[in-house]
Amino acid sequence: MLKPGLLVTVSVHSLTEKGDGIATLEGRPLYIEGALPDEQVEVQLNLVKPNFCQGTLVRVLRPSAARREDFCRYTACGGCQLRVMSDQAQLELKRQLLVDVLQARGLGCPVANTLGMNEPFHYRNKAQYAVKPGSEIGFYAKHSHQLVEVDECRVQAPATTEVVQRVRAWMRRCTVSAYNEITHSGSVRHIMVRDGIHSGELMVVLVVAEAPSNEALVQLVGEFESVVGLVSLMLNINAAIGNRVLGPESRLLWGKELIVDSLDGLEFAISPLSFYQVNPRQTEVLYREAMRLANLQGHETVFDLYCGIGTISLFMARHARQVIGIELVPEAIVDARANAELNGITNIEFHQGAAEQLVPRLYAEGVTADVVVVDPPRKGCDTALLATLAEMQPDRLVYVSCNPKTLARDLAWLCEHGFTLEQATPVDMFPHTMHVETVALLTRV
Ligand code: SAH
């Protein structure tokens, strides 16, 4: 009989969406963290339920050809799920995941090889460390608020390591307390680091429940002044109970309130609250692929829907007659307009609102696009938007997606309403994680 503690030998056949191995044990799925498809493994059962089991990997008896040595020493950290899979195998896995979801919807089209990074490390431009009593600084373990102390993270920009060390040294020297989320007392909650990887400009935001003494803040500025690339040191006050990292109030301690980063020769100003793609090198790859598929000749009107701070809009504006960007979050629209100005781009306008409301309204007023780009959040596009696009019949529709499932759902809908799916390209924006980003091209039938 199956019970916790039992050792079993199983063959792994696939991965869950979270990257855990799946084997079949007495007719039910057995989930094993750290096991890869095609492996035979010895597993100790932890959980035995009528419809699934969960176990700990004890030994790999027959390794997959894709297995490699773990590149990170923080085994409990929940950040990267595919650390023991070779880079090449990760790229193939991501392509296959996309092919599978498209096929499940009856969609067939050429799917390119995943566009990956040559050096898939130190790619993140934004880190959010949690701080806990005992000057523990790190990331949360999988599905928990258990802190895993992390000094050096291989996927973060290299400068973050020094920032963490300096904050820890400063907290000890000035006896600044860490926030305790159970008693809601103490000061430092999080450290946010933004490193415009291309520009090398660095922003450090210390998030506190209550401000440390002025003397301690003077010491903090002293601690950070010599950090190479530092452009902005800010204090953010977040006294609210809950998981939100940043509070509503920010104070400048040193430098400027913004850092600037560049993508393909365009500059973008980034404030603590701005949304900005976290892997700038791959963002260029993603946007260039979107540009290639959009195939702009210079005479088009382009809609950039879900435009964020206008990054794709500005890329497109350099090669189109006119771009209209639409975005829900008011602050992002303010940033988008400022970014257009910063780059001297004038053939562009931004509207704030929900794409599914604004696009039907614009269309009713006679405003149409030759090329439409959509880049929705994980839940995909609203049918009201898709229905308007089906009526509008742009020549090309470029769909940028961070969720293959909702992508496939929306592509299937569009293919039933006058579009042909021409091709799809997966782009690896988040190496060592299960995230798959895709750019797909639809044309009018
Ligand atoms: N294209 C941008 C942002 C993509 S993220 C980039 O590449 O950086 C998705 C964006 O959609 C977010 O900025 C989010 O605020 C916005 N959003 C979410 N729901 C929306 C809606 N219904 N209408 C318009 N924008 C929306």
Stated as kind and residue range, the H or E segment containing 14 is strand 7-15
Question: pLDDT value at position 135?
Answer: 66
Q: Is the CB of 279 under 6 A from ligand 1?
A: no
Out of 306, 350, 351, give the residue to mutate to test ligand 1, the one with the largest number of ligand atoms within 8 Å of its CB.
Answer: 306
Longest dimension (CA), the chain: 71
**Average pLDDT rounded to a whole number, residues 247-253:** 92
Out of 328, 385, 398, give the residue to mutate to test ligand 1, the one with the largest number of ligand atoms within 8 Å of its CB.
Answer: 328
Q: Is the CB of 312 under 6 A from ligand 1?
A: yes
Residues whose CB is less than 8 angstroms from the CB of residue 74 and which lie 6 or more positions away in sequence, other chains included: 138, 139, 148, 149, 150, 153
| Active site (catalytic) residues | 402
**pLDDT tens by residue, 261-287:** 999 999 999 888 888 999 999 999 999
- Extended beta strands in 296-354, E state: 301-305, 322-327, 348-352
| CATH number listed for the domain at residues 126-263 | 2.40.50.1070
**pLDDT tens by residue, 407-437:** 999 999 999 999 999 999 999 999 999 999 9
Ligand 1 atom at minimum distance from 355 CA: 23
What is the β-pairing status of strands 28-32 and 301-305?
unpaired
Domains 7-67 and 90-118+279-444 share a fold: no
Out of 327, 351, 356, 375, give the residue to mutate to test ligand 1, the one with the largest number of ligand atoms within 8 Å of its CB.
Answer: 327
Number of alpha carbons in the 13 Å side-chain half-sphere of residue 10: 30
How much distance in Å is there from the Cα of 398 to the middle of ligand 1?
15
Residue located via tokens 């950040």: 79
Ligand 1 atom at minimum distance from 358 CA: 23
Taking 70 as the threshold, does the pLDDT of residue 2 lie above it? yes
Domain range 90-118+279-444, CATH architecture: 3-Layer(aba) Sandwich (3.40)
Domain range 7-67, CATH architecture: Beta Barrel (2.40)
Closest CA to 390 of 407, 413, 374: 413
Question: pLDDT value at position 151?
Answer: 85
Residue whose CA lies nearest to ligand 1 atom number 23: 354
Rounded Cα–Cα distance for residues 383 and 390 (Å): 10
State the chain's mean pLDDT as an integer. Answer: 95
The ranges assigned to domains in the chain are 7-67, 90-118+279-444, 126-263
How much distance in Å is there from the Cα of 338 to the middle of ligand 1?
17
Stated as kind and residue range, the H or E segment containing 104 is helix 87-104
Q: Is the CB of 310 under 6 A from ligand 1?
A: no
**pLDDT tens by residue, 310-347:** 999 999 999 999 999 999 999 899 999 999 999 999 99
Taking 80 as the threshold, does the pLDDT of residue 134 lie above it? no
Q: Is the CB of 268 under 6 A from ligand 1?
A: no
Q: Is the CB of 358 under 6 A from ligand 1?
A: no
